[in-house]
Amino acid sequence: MNRTQPKPGWKSKIHEIIYEADTPAGKFFDVALLIVIAISIILVMLESVSTLNLKFYWHFYIAEWIITIIFTIEYILRVIAIKRPKNYIFSFYGIVDLLSTLPTYLSLILGGHNLLFAVRALRLLRVFRILKITRYIGESNRLLLALRNSRPKIIVFLFAVLIICVIMGTVMHLVEGEKGGFDNIPLSIYWAIVTLTTVGFGDIHPVTPLGRFIASFIMIVGYGIIAVPTGIVTSEITRAQKKPIPTNTQVCPHCNEAKHMDDAEFCHNCGKKLNEE
C-alpha cells in the first residue's frame, strides 16, 4: 500500500462511498440509506391502512415525493460512479433501484394507483443490498454457505414433501368429499400442506372418522419428518463452523464484482486494480 498513487478522481471517491463500506463515509452512506429505505417501507405499510390513508393523505403524498427524489439522486450517482454503467443498470439491484423510483413519476401521468402501489412495494428488495454492512457479515456468510451446501438435500426433501402432499390431498378429497371443505384436489393439497407443515389454520378440517384417521397419520408424518431438514442443516453448520470466512466488502469499480479476499489488490474477475486511487 506504500506505492505512489495518482490522486483519486471524484468518481472513484463516490464509488468508494456508495459501493463500499470500508471507509467512515461509506459506512455513513450505507446507514443513512438503510434508514431512508426503512422509512420508505414503513410509509408503504402505513399507507395501506385505509383509516390512516384517509387521515394523513397529504403527509404520505409529500413524504413519498421526498423519498422518490432521494432514491433518484442515489440512482443517478450509482450510474455515474461506476466505470461500466451497463453492469449496474442491468444487474438485479440496478433494476430494483430503478423500480423504486419510477412508480411515483408514473403516477403523475397515469394517476392509476393499485398496480403502481404493488411495484412500489419492490423497494423492500433494496433491504438486501444493505445487509452487507451488518457487523455479523461473517456469520451470515457462514450461514449462507451451510444453506448452499445443504441445498441439494433440502430440495430432494421438499420434493418428497410435495409428493406426499399431492398424494395425501388426493386421498383426502376422495375420502372427505365436500363435507369438510375438501371441494377439489388443489384445495385438498393446500390443506395437506397446511397440515404437514404443522401450521393448521383450521379453515378446512376433516369431519368424517376415516378422514380424521388419515389426517392423524399426515400430522404424525409431518411431526416426524421435520427432523430431516434440521438434521441436514445441523450437520452442514457444524461443518461450516470449522472454516474461516472472508469478510471483505470491497466491490471492483470496473466490473462490480464483490467477494474479494481481504488482501486482494486486483479484481479476480476482470483483472484490473481494485483501489485505483
Binding positions for a copy of itself, 66-85, rule CB under 8 A: none
- Residue from 118, 210, 268, 273 in contact with a copy of itself (CB under 8 A): 118
Nearer to a copy of itself, 5 or 238 (CB): 238
- The reply to whether 202 sits near a copy of itself by the rule CB under 8 A is yes
- The reply to whether 35 sits near a copy of itself by the rule CB under 8 A is no
- Residue from 12, 235, 248, 275 in contact with a copy of itself (CB under 8 A): 235
- Residue from 163, 261, 271, 277 in contact with a copy of itself (CB under 8 A): 163
φ, ψ for residue 266 (rounded to 5)? -120, 145
Residue type, position 122, single letter: L
Nearer to a copy of itself, 28 or 213 (CB): 213
- The reply to whether 266 sits near a copy of itself by the rule CB under 8 A is no
- The reply to whether 245 sits near a copy of itself by the rule CB under 8 A is no
- The reply to whether 8 sits near a copy of itself by the rule CB under 8 A is no
CB atoms within 10 A of CB 158: 12
- Residue from 156, 246, 265, 273 in contact with a copy of itself (CB under 8 A): 156
DSSP state letters, 115-163: HHHHHHGGGGGGHHHHGGGSTTHHHHHHHHHHHHHTHHHHHHHHHHHHH
Which residue intervals of the chain are DSSP H helices? Answer: 10-19, 24-47, 50-55, 57-81, 85-89, 92-110, 114-120, 127-130, 137-149, 151-176, 185-196, 209-225, 227-240
- The reply to whether 199 sits near a copy of itself by the rule CB under 8 A is yes
* Touching a copy of itself, residues 39-68 (CB under 8 A): 41, 44-46, 48-50
Task: Let me know: does 170 contact 185? Beta carbons within 8 Å.
Answer: yes
- The reply to whether 215 sits near a copy of itself by the rule CB under 8 A is yes
Beta bridge partners of 273: 266
* Touching a copy of itself, residues 169-198 (CB under 8 A): 170-171, 173-174, 183-187, 189-190, 193-198
Task: Let me know: does 269 contact 257? Beta carbons within 8 Å.
Answer: yes
Let me know if 240 is exposed, middle or buried by CB neighbors in 10 A (0-12, 13-18, 19+).
Answer: buried
Nearer to a copy of itself, 5 or 184 (CB): 184
- The reply to whether 251 sits near a copy of itself by the rule CB under 8 A is no
